[in-house]
Structure 1
Amino acid sequence: MTQPPNKIDATSIFPSDPDQMDDDQAFACWVVQRLRDAGHVALLAGGCVRDLLLGNTPKDYDVATSAHPKQVQRLFRRTIAVGVSFGVIRVLGRDNRIVEVATFRADLGYSDGRHPDGVRFTDPREDALRRDFTINGMFLDPLSNEVHDFVGGVDDLRAGVIRAIGDAPTRFEEDKLRLLRAVRFAARFSFNVEEATARAVRAMAGQLNVVSPERILAELRLLLTARSRRQGAGMLRDLCLWDHALPELGAVATDEGRWETTCRLLDHWHESISLPLCLAALSATMPQVDARKLVEPFFERLHGPNDERDRTAWLTTHRDGFDNARGERPARLKRLMAHVGGEELLELAEARAEAGLADDVEITHARRLRDRWTDEEVDPAPLLKGHDLIKAGIQPGPRMGELLERIRDEQLDGTIGTRDEALAYLKTIKAD
């Protein structure tokens, strides 16, 4: 047993008065109490303990217990068995609240480098020793605020260190995704990766490819979209993971000048951003034709969603769309702004200007226009549609599309504003 970090009052990590608990805390505490009343050991476990010790609000609560899965299911009315063979049951509460309850276990080998071959139910100490990093290996009794730390997690929280539990190569051999998770946790909390753990990551970086594409993408999404994306990208590079996690962007990490500019781009945002926007920023120092080429291989390799692939492609294709904003027709600027990625494109332009890749005067002009124009001015309802042109004697086909685009441009430029004006304009251009 160790004490929490000095800045944390051990008696107030978890509210002792139920009236002071939020609904998630109250539900987690109720689950622990119910297991205790049935004669089982039950403790909060893992990430929620880490977050509470850091003074953060956990996004969810996990409970570790001596109760076996069937015993857990008998104790709670609403449960979902998500991994009975691994001892994991989800307990459901009101308002879609979920607490995942897992039996204390030891894992029996990882022959595929991803999943345990089996488990043996055990005690808290052994359960802690099979986890990934010390800061994730602690337990908390929410009823007494006692921290159960068998792995030195509290000391590492105090020191700001990401350290594998036990032998680092063994931990990474069990689950290669931990290579990326080490970077994500270090970036998220502005921690350092402990030396032996860092050596193991560098030595084993090439083994990341045994992890499923979906799991890699999920981890990269958390890493690259977070406020700490710049620190995370730097650690991917420093720990030799870049070429295995982001091979499509290899040229970004090998050129020092390009890398420094990329870091300035990533530093532009002080909040979370989307994966398409981050990828567009990461590729912004590459020639535009090369940047576009990275999109499809990245999403194909990692089985990413088509809508994100398309938005990333659009952002890279139009990244210079506001570079000459003062000389552009309003119609062109409004078309860009009206796109689903329009606001992200403006943000990318501002980041490029800040990093010296675009003229700040031009980008500032574009931002002022967007702030001045209403959404209705940026994307008004079309004055004419296809059936209007058919009535005017225009046959369906490419010509009709061209005429509709010309009419739309005039509308967006503000030179025509009514249906009658659009019909009159059509008469002047349909013979062109």
Structure 2
Amino acid sequence: MQRAVEAQLDLLAPVLEPLGEAFAAEGHELALVGGPVRDALLGRPVTDLDLTTSARPEQTEAILKRERGPIWDMGRAFGTIGTRRGEWTIEITTYRSEIYDPSSRKPEVDFGDSLPGDLGRRDFTINAMAVSLPSREIVDPYGGVVDLAQRVIRTPGAPESSFSDDPLRMMRAARFAAQLGFTVAPEVIAAMTAMAARIEIISAERVRDELVKLILAPYPRLGLTLLVETGLADHVLPELPALKLESDEHHRHKDVYEHSLTVLEQAIAQESRLGGPDFVSRFAALMHDVGKPRTRRFVDGGVVTFHNHDVVGAKLTRKRMQALKFSNDEIAAVSRLVELHLRFHGYGEGQWTDSAVRRYVRDADDLLERLHILTRADCTTRNARKAARLAATYDELESRIARLSEEESLASLRPDLDGNQIMEILGLAPGREVGEAYAFLMERRLDHGPSTPEEAEAALRTWWAERQAR
């Protein structure tokens, strides 16, 4: 670990050493702190430069001005002054000692006077380490190096005190488990379980941001399982634990909760099709069956049905994402994928007409690649023959889509005549009738494929005459 730190610090020396020397010359301490130290110890690339200092904000600002770098002070109220050195954005924060109001996560900021005291207020021991500058001495008063080596997440002090101060740290524990593949210490899990309801005082936006980071992490199952087992998910994503449907010896069915986590992992395995981690694809995979608890019915013979769970699930997904303050575009994309996730199962053994294939592409629109991923990921059967048959059938559907796309430009599916041509042919002004004519031509395009302008005009005139005669 020491060698890993030295290697990273050698790379950062042109940036950090001059700053360390400048602060030392003024009688102030300066240290690299938190995530950058953790990542350096793990041998991971350092992407952020967070520094802490004994200097007060005005003293930090004065030193940076002498160093002739850009300065911004939007975080001055929290003791933070920002600067930039080459490609690096640097934030330098005065040692802090925070006091929390139990009814709010916003601290009353008070400046501290020691590095160990500043480290003690941080969320986890693996983030409560520092490297003094310019000496490069590792400062680790809470055993973060040992916890890194043992791959454990624990708090510097009592977890109950830490989570009482800032309940969002419970979400962060799950997020770090998902990002690093670490286990969470038993006392931390116990505190999360006992205090889960305190997450309610955190803003939806902050919860959303942690959830997104968790979902996009390398091991999201670890974090999601922790949220469910501690009861945090009951407050931030209740649709997930609700998938643990009760079963009995007479009504057996697939474990929808475990199935959904497996679908998420199988969707992640296909992300090369999208160029990398994609929240919309992952969250749709996680949420695709959330409509099942609402639609579960038992019928004769011990059969369980979930009719319309795709439509119900889309509505539940939209409602949850709205509560978490996601953007309208994200809400529309994820809920649409949930709504469409069963569409392929009407394909049978490939009996769809070309018209049905065109409608599949039209309905998916710019979500088509994600729908391919979700549909393939949704096969979790242990029956190898059935899995192979489903995969081959979807291969056939994708081949048909590719063929029709090449022949008909499905990616930009439009009627054979545009709105201006419709108005000219029918002698119409802009209005509802033009929209109806456009819709007729679109349906015709989906049913029959592309036509020549002459064929489209003839069909349009016939449709219009029949419409006028009604």
Show the counterpart of 1:347: 373
8, 12, 15: which is aligned to 1:14?
8
State the shift of 1:227 in Å.
Answer: 2.8
User: 2:438 is paired with a residue of what secondary structure?
Assistant: helix
State the shift of 1:275 in Å.
Answer: 3.6
Aligned pairs for 1:157-196 within 5 A: 157-196=148-187
Change in Cα spacing, 1:142 to 1:237, as seen in structure 2 (3 Å) is same
What amino acid does structure 1 have at the position aligned with 2:323? R
User: 2:50 is paired with a residue of what secondary structure?
Assistant: strand
Change in Cα spacing, 1:323 to 1:72, as seen in structure 2 (3 Å) is same
Show the counterpart of 1:236: 227
Show the counterpart of 2:418: 385
In the alignment, structure 1 segments of 5+ residues that lack a partner are: none
Partners of 1:10 and 1:404 lie apart in 2 by: 64
430, 436, 450: which is aligned to 1:416?
450
Aligned pairs for 1:390-405 within 5 A: 390-393=423-426, 395=428, 400-405=434-439
State the shift of 1:323 in Å.
Answer: 2.9
CA contact (8 A) 2:287 2:317 kept: no
Tell me which moved more, 416-425 or 212-221: 416-425
What amino acid does structure 2 have at the position aligned with 1:280? A
Tell me which moved more, 177-186 or 84-93: 84-93
Number of equivalences: 418
CA contact (8 A) 1:108 1:117 kept: yes
Deviation per CA, 1:294-337: give whole Å up to 9, x if none: 13321332222111111122112222233334314232133135
> Rg bigger for which structure?
2
State the shift of 1:146 in Å.
Answer: 2.6
300, 307, 315: which is aligned to 1:293?
315
Residues 1:333 and 2:360 are matched in the alignment? yes
Change in Cα spacing, 1:335 to 1:51, as seen in structure 2 (3 Å) is same
CA contact (8 A) 2:155 2:188 kept: yes
Change in Cα spacing, 1:33 to 1:292, as seen in structure 2 (3 Å) is same
Deviation per CA, 1:43-63: give whole Å up to 9, x if none: 110001101111111231101
CA contact (8 A) 1:334 1:379 kept: no
Deviation per CA, 1:76-99: give whole Å up to 9, x if none: 24222233232111113445x421
State the shift of 1:289 in Å.
Answer: 3.0
After TM superposition, which residue ranges in structure 1, 4 or more long, deviate above 6 angstroms? none
Aligned pairs for 1:202-213 within 5 A: 202-213=193-204
Change in Cα spacing, 1:70 to 1:280, as seen in structure 2 (3 Å) is same
State the shift of 1:412 in Å.
Answer: 5.6
Show the counterpart of 1:427: 461
239, 256, 259: which is aligned to 2:257?
259
Partners of 2:22 and 2:417 lie apart in 1 by: 66
User: 1:111 is paired with a residue of what secondary structure?
Assistant: coil
Aligned pairs for 1:14-413 within 5 A: 14-16=8-10, 21=11, 26-77=14-65, 78-94=70-86, 97-141=88-132, 143-254=134-245, 257-268=255-266, 269-270=268-269, 273-285=277-289, 286=292, 287-325=309-347, 326=350, 327-328=352-353, 329=355, 330-337=357-364, 339-354=365-380, 359-371=390-402, 373=405, 376-380=409-413, 382-393=415-426, 395=428, 400-411=434-445
- TM-score, normalization by structure 2: 0.81
State the shift of 1:424 in Å.
Answer: 3.6
User: 1:118 is paired with a residue of what secondary structure?
Assistant: strand
State the shift of 1:427 in Å.
Answer: 3.4
Change in Cα spacing, 1:381 to 1:198, as seen in structure 2 (3 Å) is same
Tell me which moved more, 246-255 or 81-90: 246-255
In the alignment, structure 2 segments of 5+ residues that lack a partner are: 247-253, 293-308
State the shift of 1:26 in Å.
Answer: 4.2
Partners of 2:376 and 2:32 lie apart in 1 by: 44
Change in Cα spacing, 1:136 to 1:370, as seen in structure 2 (3 Å) is farther
User: 1:323 is paired with a residue of what secondary structure?
Assistant: helix
What amino acid does structure 2 have at the position aligned with 1:427? R
State the shift of 1:251 in Å.
Answer: 1.9
State the shift of 1:264 in Å.
Answer: 1.2
Partners of 1:362 and 1:397 lie apart in 2 by: 43
Change in Cα spacing, 1:413 to 1:145, as seen in structure 2 (3 Å) is farther
State the shift of 1:355 in Å.
Answer: 5.6
What amino acid does structure 2 have at the position aligned with 1:91? T
Change in Cα spacing, 1:368 to 1:75, as seen in structure 2 (3 Å) is farther
Change in Cα spacing, 1:238 to 1:249, as seen in structure 2 (3 Å) is closer
CA contact (8 A) 1:331 1:409 kept: no
CA contact (8 A) 1:64 1:102 kept: yes
- Cα RMSD, aligned residues only: 2.8
Change in Cα spacing, 1:314 to 1:166, as seen in structure 2 (3 Å) is same
